[in-house]
Chain A
């Protein structure tokens, strides 16, 4: 019983870290609003209103929250086993391209079949893209951050090129976009799908063999290997899962909202996911809250520029500050445990 409480305390300590980080970020953000000569209260209430003030506002918030959450899960599942999934934007670009190309090439096939093929292609593209830095890291010892960041640039420019000069480039338009795809997924389906993904993610992580192996390998690779768990396989599986989750996010965006590829549509989405994962401390529920917060900031930013003179860059600043402070452990549960352990020794 006593340890149940201490477990609870540990969770509270961990979540209070994020809460403090968010509060500090908003506080500093408030000072910045003062500097442009506006009232922080007005600014924040405008954001609040923009995020939750009307049915449309709430729909937008949910949309962005789902987008951020899938990216957060994608980041987190890799992060759990020590793989820093920073090539998320690359995964978004490749899975978007996969979908549009499949749609383009399968013209004439029945609609549902096309949709299934597009989804499979997107998942495969996301997974493969996520595997590139992972294989480089686990098989060759290359730093995944360098490879990942380069991959982001590479795919961004490839995507840019293809939607400008290729069969999937939109004709007779002045902006760089791809052709429009006929396939749609209704927004309510995406919302329900996202909820199912959350439940499945939490269940797989906590109650299944792959989830257990991922957790154990992430905590202690040497132990896992000596126990007969093929750590490299587990780590590569995590990378595949991360890539598929990114692809799912991309499907929601392309099939649910855009129906085409905009130039640099993925910009900043990886960072959003990473921030939410930090806020949520990699727990499925925590990341939901983190995503909701970032989703609300995103959808609230519209009204901020309408109602006040505050530039919408405030949102980016606050988000950056949250990211910065969320990586700081104000209260470190592990250290508190360690202190206790030393005492026992």
Chain B
């Protein structure tokens, strides 16, 4: 059988960096080819070249055995479709309108809604979506919206699908459903490139597995069954230690540092996002907060740190009622915060490390005399942080936005941990980080636990929650659907049921 796509010796240079160094990859009809690698390994660049968003500096792209050179429009005409991690959708428009957006079928100069609707209905049925094509997209769940995204790509006739970290936002059940869809597409002869960080999924779904590192292919086309998760991880990161750090010392005293009582939050539309939520976090405990994103986790975080005002309820830190305190008062009372969005909330990207570290802490005696900043002492302090937190690439006067994601996160950690918080709220602290940086974050969180900090870890990564938490609560529609105390004897599937709103406490 002839490969449908052959990428041959692709070279892509950016000033100073070789993003793709003679990379070759092929793809057969009816195959799911998993592409794995750490951040910065060159996967995205390669896929953007395949999708026509970048032009390669060298090498050839063969589609159906013929050399092609094209832009994004050309890629669509050739049947190449990309499903982005962050959906490109308009929530207010209907499913149908979203699917035909950009390339609607025409009858004369008018859009042929009738034909489009029939076609979309067929696709919806095929993917087991009961929704009406005219229903606004915003009423669908994340998993369903992703299916719509795949439908969109199939609608314009794609037979080569690039799925960029498609499971990042899904529950285990929804992921499993996605894998069944992939099998279904393969049976139709479509070819799929599956990009993921989650090695278990890669092993489950990949017919062949290619590993990239530093712009090169380090492992070409392992066949299904040739490699296990450890093999892949080893190939991905080279010689380094591949084990992710685990919480070895679970269980804590019962001495609550943070208490949340009967918290309610209604958003501007009057929808209850937190419903009578109560929880406690003990001294030296990591409380894992799981659940599908959008079930109240963000609202909980924001009401805790004071960015949102709860509609009702109390927040008590170490005996001090901060329910109505400002952000800065709460921080003074001992709240530390690692934002899930380090690019906007967590850091000021076009500021220096000094700007980032002292903001909000300017009155600290080490940083100022109450009015004038002590620049020497601030720089010395930052030098020390750069050293102790191994922040690479940070030099004087450089904006932190120029650092890699891992080093940015280290600045966030340094800033928040060095304040000596009593309660540390860590939201998606390892999202988008490579294994090295992930381990660094995990280590720091566990260090905080040992120091006696009460840590709230909110994460979409179930593996992370189960490895680090002393105790877990699963959110569903603004309430705690279940609490897991015996994490070692709980399976991901059981937690997945809680995430979906079913199941009971363990």
Binding site for B on A (CB under 8 A): 1-4, 6-7, 207-209, 212-213, 215-216, 219-220, 222-230, 334, 337, 339-345
Which of chain A's residues have a CB closer than 8 A to the CB of B307? 225-226
Whether A223 pairs with B16 at a CB distance below 8 angstroms is no
15 contacts across the A-B interface (CB closer than 8 A): A3-B396, A209-B362, A209-B371, A209-B372, A220-B344, A223-B348, A223-B359, A226-B345, A229-B328, A230-B326, A334-B350, A340-B15, A341-B402, A343-B17, A344-B17
Can you list, as one digit per residue, whether each of B37-52 has a CB less than 8 Å from chain A (1) or not (0)?
A: 0011000100000000
Q: What residues of B have a CB within 8 angstroms of the CB of A215 in the complex?
A: 351, 355
In the complex with contacts A3-B398, A229-B359, A340-B402, A223-B344 CB distance below 8 A: yes
B14: chain A residues at CB < 8 Å are 339, 342-343
Q: Are A209 and B368 in contact (CB under 8 A)?
A: yes
CB neighbours (8 Å) of B16 from chain A are: 340, 343
Query: Beyond A207-B373, A343-B17, A344-B17: 11 further Cβ-contacts under 8 Å?
Result: A3-B396, A6-B398, A212-B355, A212-B359, A220-B348, A222-B344, A223-B344, A230-B327, A340-B402, A342-B14, A345-B44
Contact call B402/A228, Cβ cutoff below 8 A:
no
Q: Which chain B residues in 402-460 approach chain A with CB under 8 Å?
A: 402, 404
B395 x A228 contact (CB < 8 A): no
Q: Is A216 touching B372 in the complex (CB atoms < 8 A)?
A: no
Q: In the bound complex, do residue B402 and residue A223 qualify as a contact, i.e. CB atoms below 8 Å apart? A: no
By beta carbon, the residue of chain A nearest B302 is A226
Q: A209-B371, A344-B402 are in contact. Are A7 and B397 (CB under 8 A)?
A: yes
B397: chain A residues within 8 A (beta carbon): 3-4, 7
The 6 A-B residue pairs with the shortest CB-CB distance in the complex, in nearest-first order = A227-B360, A228-B328, A343-B14, A228-B360, A220-B348, A3-B395
B363 within 8 A of A: yes
**Shortest beta-carbon distance, B305 to chain A, in Å?**
7
Do B404 and A344 touch across chains, with their CB atoms under 8 A apart?
yes
Closest to B415 in A: A227
Count of chain B residues near A, Cβ 8 A = 47
What distance in Å separates the Cβ of B363 from its nearest Cβ neighbour in chain A?
7
Interfacial chain A residues near B331, Cβ < 8 Å: 227-228
User: Shortest CB–CB separation between residue A15 and chain B, in angstroms?
Assistant: 17
- Chain B 152-164, CB-CB to A under 8 Å as 1, else 0, gives 0000000000000
Q: Counting CB contacts under 8 A, is B349 at the interface?
A: yes
Q: A226-B327, A228-B328 are in contact. Are A216 and B339 (CB under 8 A)?
A: no
Q: In the complex the two chains form, what is the Cα distance from A259 to B54 in whole Å?
A: 65
Nearest B residue to A216, CB-CB: B359
> Nearest Cβ distance between residue B375 and chain A, in whole angstroms?
7
Contact of B305 (CB < 8 Å), options: A1, A223, A226: A226
**Cβ proximity bits B16-36 to A, threshold 8 Å, 1 near / 0 not:** 110100000000000000000
Whether A337 lies near B327 (C-beta < 8 A) is no
Contacts of B337 in A (CB 8 A): 226
| Contacting residues, chain A, for B332 (C-beta < 8 A) | 228
Give the chain B neighbours of A207 by CB distance below 8 A.
372-373, 375
Enumerate chain B residues within 8 angstroms of A340, measured Cβ to Cβ: 15-16, 402
Complex: chain A residue closest to B399, CB-CB: A337
Q: How far is the CA of A334 from the CA of B346 in the complex (A)?
A: 20
Q: Collect the chain A residues with CB atoms within 8 Å of residue B182's CB.
A: none
A209-B373, A228-B331, A344-B402 in contact; A2/B345 too (CB < 8 A)? no
Q: Which of B15, B19, B348 contacts A219 (CB 8 A)?
A: B348
In angstroms, Cα B370 to Cα A337, docked, is 34
Give the contacts of B371-397 with A (CB-CB under 8 A).
371-373, 375, 395-397
- Considering the complex, give the chain A residue whose CB is closest to the CB of B397: A7
* CA distance in complex: A345, B17 (Å): 10
A200 to chain B, nearest CB (A): 12
Within 8 Å CB of A230, what residues of B? 326-328
Contact A216 B355 (CB under 8 A): yes
Contact residues in B for A220 (Cβ distance below 8 Å) = 344, 347-351
- When distances are taken between beta carbons in the complex, the residues of chain A under 8 Å from B17 are 343-344
A53 and B261 CA atoms in complex are apart in Å by 77
Closest beta carbon of chain A to B215's beta carbon, Å: 11
Instruction: List, in ascending order, chain A residues with CB within 8 A of B359's CB.
Output: 212-213, 216, 223-224, 227, 229
Q: Which residues from B are CB-within-8-Å of A7? A: 397-398
Chain A residues with CB below 8 A from B328, complex form = 228-230
Kindly state whether residue B251 has any CB partner on chain A within 8 Å: no
| Residue on B nearest A219 in the bound complex, by CB | B348
Residue B358 at the chain A interface, CB threshold 8 Å = yes
Contact assessment for A223 and B404 in the assembled complex, using a CB-CB cutoff below 8 Å: no
Give the docked Cα–Cα distance between A340 and B362 (Å): 31
**Which of chain A's residues have a CB closer than 8 A to the CB of B501?**
none
In the complex, B79 has a CB within 8 A of chain A: no
Q: How far is the CA of A223 from the CA of B351 in the complex (A)?
A: 11
Tell me which of A3, A223, A345 has the highest count of chain B C-beta atoms within 10 A of its own C-beta: A223
A225-B327, A344-B17 known; A212 and B40 CB under 8 Å?
Answer: no
* Nearest-Cβ distance from residue B86 to partner chain A, whole angstroms: 15
Question: Which of A207, A224, A344 lies at the interface centre, i.e. has the most chain B CB atoms within 10 A of its CB?
Answer: A344
Contacts of A1 in B (CB 8 A): 395
Contacts of A343 in B (CB 8 A): 14-17, 19
Q: How far is the CA of A314 from the CA of B293 in the complex (A)?
A: 61
Given A3-B397, A220-B344, A228-B331: A213 and B402 within 8 A (CB)?
no
* Chain A residues in 8 Å Cβ range of B370: 209
Q: How far is the CA of A215 from the CA of B396 in the complex (A)?
A: 18
Is B401 in the interface zone, CB < 8 Å from A? yes
Report the nearest A residue to B378, measured CB to CB.
Answer: A212
Residue pair A344, B40 in contact (C-beta under 8 Å)? yes
**Choice from B39, B305, B362, B396 contacting A213 with Cβ under 8 Å:** B362
User: Which of A4, A226, A337, A339 counts the most B-chain CB atoms under 10 A from its CB?
Assistant: A226
A212-B373, A229-B328 are contacts. A2–B395 as well, Cβ < 8 Å?
yes
A residues near B339, Cβ cutoff 8 Å: 226
Known: A213-B362, A343-B17. A208 touches B395 (CB 8 A): no
